[in-house]
Amino acid sequence: MRVLAAMSGGVDSAVAAARAVDAGHDVVGVHLALSRMPGTLRTGSRGCCTIEDSMDAQRAATVLGIPYYVWDFSERFKLDVVDDFIAEYAAGRTPNPCMRCNERIKFAALLEKALSLGFDAVATGHYASIVTTDDGHRELHRAAAWAKDQSYVLGVLTGEQLAHAMFPLGATPSKAEVRAEAAARGLSVAAKPDSHDICFISDGDTRGWLAEKVGAEPGPIVDRSGATIGTHRGAAAFTVGQRKGLDLRVPAPDGRPRFVLEVKPRTNEVVVGPREALAIAEFAGERMSWAGRDPVASGLDPASFRCEAQIRAHADPVPATAAVVGAELVIRPDEPILGVAPGQTAVVYVGTRVLGQCTIDRTVSAAPARADRVPV
């Protein structure tokens, strides 16, 4: 099988490519140039897809004895990931750029090009597993190592994309084993730090970056009654559930801290309230997809089926009931969960299997609104 190995320059993708070679596939390595500033270098564990990463990927490909290419996807990445991230924040939503990158770059643009060039599959270093059922259907499942499981960020993949995806690290019990294997193979990335945070904001200053891209207009911080209790220097920099960085002038009646409940870009308001007001009893979204077979084909009742829902990459899944209602995927957790925000991705699991996902458009609070300020 002809396999295109996406090599980020990190240890996971290098070992994934090596395992594809060991499996007897005809492997070609490719590094995606996503930055529009090619001179940029990593800062410790921040940033990725830089010149340094490209060179690390090339060295790994040389050790493995496979052809290696760099493909410039920077324009597509800017349009589909960076610009989308800016637009979502400007609309008061909380986007996940890793989801968009997997959806629109690694398993859309890259896969499309790979197939057009005659490749059968794209291999990546994600920790997730693909299971083929007895009747030949491919399913996306959690990795063996739950601590490293990355099936959440792959929840946007469709059945057609899964048909051409390969995750050689899915059954690996630990990251330590991957690093040890890389060292044994003579790969220089064996001890390279994992990248974290948002790859295109290499200094980690998301608030400053957004202020430059979206603008930062001072405005009011209000409680749930609409009373002004403080000021902010730019609403787009705030996310639901945030506690730090709030310039509040009026104390809460009970003296407890307040949290961001909502961001209103049209009025440039940030709404805050008590922690319990973050509890969400229902969330839903219209932008949904299924990772292979949909609920009906999976033997589930689309009007109501049991599942687990996960709303962040490192969040614990929670028991829930889900339903397809009109154009929406509606999810009701058994117990209210905190800090669900429009723009986040809700991934739905049945056991270890990823059934599908939706981008959250709306939420329903479990706590009734009330005034939160000290009476004057």
SS (H, E, C) 140-201: EEECCCCCCCCCHHHCCCCHHHHCCEECCCCCCCCHHHHHHHHHHCCCCCCCCCCCECCCCC
Contact 60, 22 (CB under 8 A): no
Contact 281, 234 (CB under 8 A): no
The mean pLDDT of the chain is 90
Q: Please, what are the domains in the chain?
A: 2-184 (3.40.50.620), 216-273 (2.30.30), 278-365 (2.40.30.10)
Phi, psi of 88 (to 5 degrees): -65, -45
User: How confident is the model over 158-169, as a mean pLDDT?
Assistant: 96
pLDDT value at position 209?
86
pLDDT value at position 279?
93
How far is residue 204 from each of residues 73, 83, 86, 247, measured CA to CA in Å?
23, 18, 15, 22
With vertex at residue 220, the alpha carbon angle to CA 217 and CA 226, rounded to the nearest 5 degrees, is 145
Specify which residues 353 forms β-bridges with: 141, 350
- Residue, of 34 and 142, whose pLDDT is higher: 142
Q: In what order do the strands lie in the sheet with 165-166?
A: 68-72, 26-33, 2-6, 121-123, 165-166
**Catalytic sites, residue numbers:** 101, 199
Phi, psi of 256 (to 5 degrees): -85, 160
pLDDT value at position 48?
60
Q: Could you read off the pLDDT of 174-211 as tens digits, one per residue?
A: 999 999 999 999 999 999 988 766 888 877 788 788 87
Contact 131, 103 (CB under 8 A): no
User: How confident is the model over 97-115, as a mean pLDDT?
Assistant: 93
pLDDT value at position 211?
79
Q: Could you read off the pLDDT of 216-231 as tens digits, one per residue?
A: 889 999 999 899 999 9
Is 39 a residue whose pLDDT tops 60? Answer: no
With vertex at residue 345, the alpha carbon angle to CA 297 and CA 279, rounded to the nearest 5 degrees, is 110
Is 373 a residue whose pLDDT tops 50? Answer: no
Which stretches of the chain are DSSP H helices?
A: 11-22, 51-64, 74-77, 83-90, 97-101, 110-116, 159-162, 175-184, 206-214
Biggest CA–CA distance in the chain, Å, is 75
Is 45 a residue whose pLDDT tops 60? Answer: no
Q: Could you read off the pLDDT of 75-104 as tens digits, one per residue?
A: 999 999 999 999 998 888 888 998 999 999
Specify which residues 131 forms β-bridges with: 139
Placement of tokens 């990459």 in the chain: 313
Is 162 a residue whose pLDDT tops 60? Answer: yes
**Above pLDDT 70, what percent of the chain?**
93
